[in-house]
Amino acid sequence: MIDVAVDHGGYVTPALVPAVPAVELRKMVARGTLDAVAHGVYRVPVLPRDRYDELILARLWAKGRGVVSHDSALMVHELCDINPTGIHLTIPTAYRISRAGGDRYVIHHAELVDRDVTRLDAVVVTTIARTLADTITTVPAYLARQAVTTAAERGAIASADRARLLGVLEGRGAA
């Protein structure tokens, strides 16, 4: 179980550790071996917290179907000086979350394919290319320009993609 927790930023859920019955997880909480942090989500307290702990927890809140995306992905990839007010998650179109997430989660629906998703340490996040496509028209133009420029400087996008994305920004009146 500890290997699973390490892989998921210190968290486990019954789905992640199917060999451990849910009742045993609750007993581990009572003994202080685990902390209950959300409905069906537990944390191994001896493991260090990740700097993106809240993003990892958000994905587990969505039963592992959520991928950190949009403004939150810009932050994870460190593409611009964005400070999202909520945690952005993209979940499959057919999946509906009925549990309350409050105002902390901004849910987007899309069918992501493998090439749209990557993993940075314990954070499952949209790729830089997908993140730019998702945010080029939704974040303030100066942040979008900064993100495109940073991605191009890192070699994360091709020069043709850079030109296309900057063209979209010009179309927004951001020239």
160 in the same domain as 105:
yes
Contact 151, 118 (CB under 8 A): no
Residues 34 and 70 in one domain: no
Q: Is residue 158 part of a domain?
A: yes
Q: Which of 25, 104, 99 is nearest to 65 (CA)?
A: 99
In tens, the pLDDT along 60-90 reads 888 888 899 999 999 999 999 999 989 999 9
Same domain, 27 and 106: no
Q: Please provide residue 140's backbone torsions phi and psi, each rounded to the nearest 5 degrees.
A: -55, 145
Same domain as 92, residue 165? yes
What is residue 173's predicted lDDT score, i.e. its pLDDT?
67
* Burial per residue of 10-33, b for 16 or more beta-carbon CB atoms within 10 angstroms, e otherwise: bbbbbebbeeeeeeebeebeeeee
Kindly state whether residues 36 and 78 are assigned to the same domain. Answer: no
Q: Could you tell me if 23 and 67 lie in one domain?
A: no
The pLDDT assigned to 104 comes to 84
Phi, psi angles (nearest 5°) of residue 136: -60, -30
Per-residue pLDDT of the chain (175 residues), as tens digits, is 889 999 889 999 999 999 999 899 999 999 999 999 988 899 999 999 888 999 999 888 888 888 999 999 999 999 999 999 899 999 998 887 765 556 788 999 999 999 999 999 889 999 999 999 999 999 999 999 999 999 999 999 999 999 999 999 988 764 4
Give the count of domains, the chain: 2
Do 34 and 100 lie in a common domain?
no
Phi, psi of 97 (to 5 degrees): -95, 125
Looking at the structure, tell me whether residues 27 and 67 fall in a common domain: no
Is 48 part of a structural domain of the chain?
Answer: no
Do the Cβ atoms of 41 and 13 come closer than 8 Å? yes
Residue with tokens 């992640």: 16
Q: Looking at the domain assignment, is residue 53 inside a domain? A: no
Do 112 and 164 lie in a common domain? yes
Query: Which among 97, 106, 113 has a CA at the least distance from the CA of 70?
Result: 106
- Which structural domain, as residue segments, surrounds residue 111? 63-171
